[in-house]
Amino acid sequence: MLPTLDKRGPLPLYHQLKAFIEERIGSGLWKPGDQLPSERQLCEQFQVSRITVRQAVTDLVSAGSLVRDQGRGTFVAPARVEQRLNQLTSFTQDIQARGKRPGAQVLQFETIPAPAPVARLLRLRAEEPVILLKRLRLTDGEPMAVETTHLPLALCPDLVHETLANASLYELLSRKFHVIPFRAEQQMSAAGCPPAEARLLRVPKGSPVLHIYRTTFTEAGVPFEQVESYYRGDKYVFNAELYAKASGRRIGAEGSSRS
Ligand code: 16G
């Protein structure tokens, strides 16, 4: 039987269509490189307008689940390999995926008025309360990164009562506060390690580090964390997998092959 959308339900149709596509991808039925049915086919299959189909597909393209190839169609995005630069992970997941033991030492954990640049990035009013969390991140017990995080107090009011030593902030935010990381904007540059961070990372000051700014958003587009971090340049590698084009296997086409 063909899948249908609940036209009288509270969830917008594009949302339901998105969930349907995500489910197909998540279950492995639609594989990386598979071509999606055309807009017209999706409209017919689900009895919805082109606008609905476009909105669902555009959202999934922005989320990185689908890729558009001008003139050829829309495809399931290439499989994500661990620690691709365009995959949003927590430090804990990142380090575990490398087969190592993540850790965290809390250096500062308090509520402060948001400094102006932080307020701007988190879309808060000037001096609105934020939680300041500074952590030394460890890999197999060795210092790897210093992270200074700001989170709007209103989104996670009791966070300061939680224990974050050797714990995952993202896991805690998701489980206790239903703040689920969805997307991040990140800037990375090479830098010489400032003296305070160098002491913490146990490297000579001025050693090469990756200096990273990240603002992380929920699926609803709410920025919930602003982070500045220094990662040891001698110990940490960001892997990126880069594709020129989506490979073109068409969903449902029997005996199809990659081109
Ligand atoms: C990563 C993130 C950081 C986030 C942390 C959560 C970068 C550059 N930064 O380190 O923004 O706060 O993960 O990790 O990737 P956790 O859940 O293990 O505490």
Tell me the per-residue pLDDT of 56-104, one tens digit each, with 9 for 90 and over. Answer: 998 888 767 788 888 889 998 865 433 456 678 899 988 888 788 999 9
Distance (Å, whole) CA 130 – CA 108: 13
Low-confidence ranges of the chain (pLDDT < 50): 1, 80-83, 252-259
Q: What is the dihedral of CA 63, 169, 235, 207, to 10 degrees?
A: 100
The whole-number pLDDT of residue 84 equals: 53
pLDDT for res 80: 42
Kindly give the number of the ligand 1 atom that is closest to the alpha carbon of 92: 18
Q: What pLDDT does 247 receive?
A: 52
Condensed to tens digits (0 to 9), the pLDDT of residues 166-180 reads 999 999 999 999 999
Q: CA angle, corner 213, sides to 56 and 158, nearest 5?
A: 80
pLDDT at 2 (0 to 100): 55
Atom of ligand 1 nearest to the CA of 95: 18
Give the Å distance between the CA of 208 and the centre of ligand 1: 20
> What's the angle, vertex CA 219, arms to CA 109 and CA 23, rounded to 5?
130
Residue 25 has what pLDDT? Answer: 84
Given a contact cutoff of 8 angstroms between Cβ atoms, the answer to whether 172 and 149 are in contact is: no
- Give residue 175 CA to ligand 1 midpoint distance, Å: 16
Query: Would you state the pLDDT for residue 65?
Result: 79
Question: Is ligand 1 within 6 A of the CB of residue 91?
Answer: yes
What's the rounded Cα separation, in Å, for the pair 193 and 117?
Answer: 22
Ligand 1 within 6 A of 198 CB? no
Q: Which amino acid is at 61?
A: V
Of 195, 100, 191, which is closest to residue 142 (Cα–Cα)?
A: 100
Ligand 1 geometric centre to CA of 242 (Å) = 23
Q: Name the residue of 87, 170, 228 to mutate for ligand 1: max ligand atoms within 8 A of Cβ.
A: 170
Report how far residue 234's alpha carbon sits from residue 213's, in angstroms, rounded to the nearest whole number: 19
N-terminal to C-terminal alpha carbon distance within the chain:
31
Q: In testing the pocket of ligand 1, which one of 91, 176, 229, 230 has its CB within 8 Å of the most ligand atoms? A: 91
Say what the pTM is. Answer: 0.65
